[in-house]
Amino acid sequence: MTTPPYPQNHARLGGLLYLVIIAAGIFGELFVRGSMVASGDAAATAAHIAATPGLWRTGIAVDLLMHVCDVFVMWVIYLLLRPTSARLALLVLLLNLIQTAVLVANKLLLLVPLFLSEGHPAYLAGLDAPQLQALGYLAIRIHEYGFGVGLVFFGAVCLVEGYLIRRSGYLPRLIGTAMQLAGACYVVNSTLLLLMPHLQGQLFPFLMLPCLVAELSFALWLLVRGVDVQAFHKALARA
């Protein structure tokens, strides 16, 4: 079995890009949509987007950058975890690809309120302003649910990935446990979003905190410490 000759370089690249993903996600969800989407108020949301369309577009662009980085991080994690179990590392990769594909397609919904806020083209002549605002807000709400659907797959990623980290011997078991806890939180959050959205709204901050701590810890560990190279090559030799 072949392996990258410099696993530390790969680990640090993955850690750096993982931090970019975390920062981009916070920017898009909190700084852009968190500041522009008025919960339950389609008119106010449409007014915010119409007033600062550049910020809304930047949020979408940063989200897409995040998903490009996702692909490189998937590749790095596959290479780093393959010596522990090639089959499970491939499963992590496949689940992660589905998650990213869902989230990338989901971003198209964020273009709907943007288009509806930029004038009133002829093909929308039959709709008045409140109807257009309602359509834009509906697209944003569907995007929120699409995000939850994608995170079901990412929750599964974290559960299997955490198991492999714990088994690896060249990455900290504690981070593996934290990633599994994060995976469980993602799955619970998405399940509640679909079945009990009111409860999900109340628990969302508490469910996302373990996810942020786990992923930030993993990213920083990869960037600063990397892997135990000797243990990595021993695991590779046994594979």
Question: Can you give the pLDDT at residue 5?
Answer: 53
Taking Cα atoms as reference points, which of 114, 19, 21, 34 lies closest to residue 64?
Answer: 21
For the chain, the farthest-separated pair of C-alpha atoms sits apart, in whole angstroms, at: 68
Helix, strand, coil content of the chain in percent (nearest 5): 85, 0, 15
Q: What is the pLDDT of residues 124-157, one digit of tens each?
A: 777 888 999 999 999 999 999 999 999 999 999 9
**Confidence (pTM):** 0.92
DSSP 33: I
Q: In this structure, are residues 114 and 57 in contact, taking their beta carbons and an 8 Å threshold?
A: yes
State mean pLDDT over 154-162. 98
The DSSP string of 124-185 is: GTTS-HHHHHHHHHHHHHHHHHHHHHHHHHHHHHHHHHHHHHHHHSSS-HHHHHHHHHHHHH
Q: What is the pLDDT of residues 197-232, one digit of tens each?
A: 999 999 999 999 999 999 999 999 999 999 999 999
Question: Can you give the pLDDT at residue 120?
Answer: 67
Q: What is the pLDDT of residues 47-72, one digit of tens each?
A: 999 999 999 999 999 999 999 999 99
Taking Cα atoms as reference points, which of 136, 62, 67 lies closest to residue 98?
Answer: 67
- At residue 239 the predicted structure's pLDDT band, cuts being 50, 70 and 90, is confident
How many of the other CB atoms lie within 10 Å of CB of 151?
Answer: 23
Long-range contact list for 30-36, CB < 8 A, 24+ apart?
Answer: 31/59, 32/56, 32/58, 32/59, 32/62, 33/59, 33/140
Question: Can you give the pLDDT at residue 180?
Answer: 98
- Which residues does 185 contact at the CB level (< 8 Å), separation at least 6? 155, 207, 208, 210, 211
